[in-house]
């Protein structure tokens, strides 16, 4: 009788632990799910919210992406109805090797068109013979308080980076942004080494996610994926 009770309790405990294990695994899988956003489809169905910019046709027919027009001030497009906190953002961007006319990247933890964080590239600095300009290939900003001008003036070299062995400035470039508040880590072109790791300059832990172009810049975007932690 005592043996039967012990066996029953053991079986009961085993069932409970098995159930807990599957719940944890399921939760982990849900948390790690990757969501793909076809930007061309989103544009066609009016699920991109443009600010300070407009949608224009993408000249590259080999990829399903979009182009954003140039204009004054910073601009871009939010992904409608999407809020993002911690996790991985991946996106292909294409700028151009034209001096002071190409700033392309990702905006995140956004509130509106004036308040958001961004990580972006300056492709026209990639191949510059000037080492100072090459140190300005990647930029972090936190609008409206921390513009690139203020960061360069007050925190020289802390929120800008060079890119070792930089890619072709006129090519598509893959960005992988890992957000783990307050840490922000950037990888490019599937390289295993990070090219930038910094701490976020505000207390926002979630917000809108979108595509970014800087003052006077247009840009091309494709293959957006989000993996929330």
- Residues of the domain holding 19: 1-31
Task: Report the CATH number that the domain containing residue 145 is assigned in CATH.
Answer: 2.60.120.560
Number of domains in the chain: 2
Say whether both 67 and 16 belong to one domain.
no
Say whether both 18 and 71 belong to one domain.
no
Percent pLDDT > 90 in the chain is 86
Residues 208-224: b if buried by 16+ CB within 10 A, e if exposed: bbbbbbbeebbbbbbbb
Reported pTM: 0.86
Say whether both 136 and 220 belong to one domain.
yes
Cα 30 to chain centroid distance, Å, stands at 20
Residue 192 in contact with residue 160, Cβ under 8 Å?
no
Say whether both 215 and 103 belong to one domain.
yes
Say whether both 62 and 123 belong to one domain.
yes
The pLDDT tens digits of the residues spanning 126-178 come to: 999 999 999 999 999 999 999 999 999 999 999 999 999 999 999 999 999 99
Say whether both 83 and 17 belong to one domain.
no
Q: What pLDDT band is residue 190 in, cutting at 50, 70 and 90? A: very high
Say whether both 155 and 209 belong to one domain.
yes
């Amino acid at each position: 009788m005592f043996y039967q009770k012990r066996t029953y309790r053991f079986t009961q405990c085993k069932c409970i632990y098995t159930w807990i294990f599957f719940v944890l695994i399921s939760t982990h899988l849900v948390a790690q799910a990757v969501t793909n956003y076809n930007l061309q489809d989103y544009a066609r169905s009016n699920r991109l919210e443009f600010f300070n910019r407009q949608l224009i046709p993408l000249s590259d027919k080999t990829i399903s992406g979009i182009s954003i027009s140039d204009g004054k001030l910073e601009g871009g497009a939010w992904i409608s109805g999407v809020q993002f906190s911690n996790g991985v953002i991946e996106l292909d961007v294409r700028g151009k090797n034209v001096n002071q006319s190409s700033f392309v990247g990702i905006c995140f933890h956004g509130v509106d068109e004036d308040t958001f964080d961004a990580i972006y590239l300056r492709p026209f600095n990639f191949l510059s013979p000037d080492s100072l300009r090459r140190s300005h290939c990647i930029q972090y900003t936190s609008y409206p308080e921390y513009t690139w001008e203020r960061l360069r003036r007050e925190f020289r070299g802390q929120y800008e980076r060079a890119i070792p062995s930089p890619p072709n400035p006129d090519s598509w470039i893959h960005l992988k942004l890992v957000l783990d508040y307050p840490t922000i880590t950037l990888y490019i072109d599937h390289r295993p080494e990070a090219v930038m790791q910094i701490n976020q300059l505000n207390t926002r832990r979630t917000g809108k996610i979108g595509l970014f172009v800087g003052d006077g810049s247009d840009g091309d975007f494709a293959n957006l994926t989000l993996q929330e932690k």
